[in-house]
Chain A
Amino acid sequence: GENVEQHPSTLSVQEGDSAVIKCTYSDSASNYFPWYKQELGKRPQLIIDIRSNVGEKKDQRIAVTLNKTAKHFSLHITETQPEDSAVYFCGQGTNYQLIWGAGTKLIIKP
């Protein structure tokens, strides 16, 4: 069945460094790939998304890249700050459903 694998499960980076989280999917019908950030005790919030007809999208310090051939997409956060500490979830969407990755806990070390 369809699934999406997200790696790593935990990522610890020095403040100011970059962080990269990768998701691999199996359903070639996937056309929508969102990333959500969930801070401790809060709701997941959409931070960036990309559609299958686009290879890269940027929004200030965050970017998402999509490789349809290899069926993977990645979240890139540059110049990490303490407020980037959270759990990040990737999603793989089709017209039928949205499948979620297991989440990555991002820790920003001061």
Chain B
Amino acid sequence: KAGVTQTPRYLIKTRGQQVTLSCSPISGHRSVSWYQQTPGQGLQFLFEYFSETQRNKGNFPGRFSGRQFSNSRSEMNVSTLELGDSALYLCASSQISGGSYGYTFGSGTRLTVV
């Protein structure tokens, strides 16, 4: 069974630009959660999507947005990039929404803003 696939793996963008990251969950998983991880930091929750609906949202500015498609694939968009947005962005898929089942993480997209 294929794992969680995130594309691209690496990305370099200029301050002020926007970026879109993609996440394909495990087949059959309908929940996709997104996290930001900076060096030495933990897992900062961005948002969760389930059945194309945003179920939960973390404390990030409106520049961070996401969506989920009918095939459960999800995209995350960051507009007007800032240097502080440089981080590893992880997505995780789960069979159901919420936190009662384990997550499977993708390998992440490492975003560098210059």
Q: Which residues of A contact B (CB under 8 A)?
A: 31-32, 34, 36, 42-46, 49, 89, 91-103
Please classify the interface of chain A as helix (H, G, I), strand (E, B), loop, or mixed, using the class held by over half of its residues.
strand
| A102 to B38 Cα, complex, angstroms | 12
Instruction: Decide: B99 and A32 in contact? CB cutoff 8 A.
Output: yes
Q: Which residues of B contact A (CB under 8 A)?
A: 33, 42-43, 45, 48, 56, 90, 98-108
Instruction: Decide: A100 and B106 in contact? CB cutoff 8 A.
Output: no
Closest beta carbon of chain B to A59's beta carbon, Å: 14
Instruction: Decide: A45 and B105 in contact? CB cutoff 8 A.
Output: yes
Instruction: Decide: B98 and A95 in contact? CB cutoff 8 A.
Output: yes
**Given A89-B42, A96-B56, A100-B43: A43 and B107 within 8 A (CB)?**
yes
| A34 to B42 Cα, complex, angstroms | 15
Give 17 A-B contacts (CB < 8 Å), ordered by A residue.
A32-B100, A32-B101, A42-B107, A43-B106, A43-B107, A44-B90, A44-B105, A46-B104, A49-B102, A89-B42, A89-B43, A93-B98, A95-B99, A97-B45, A97-B98, A99-B99, A103-B43
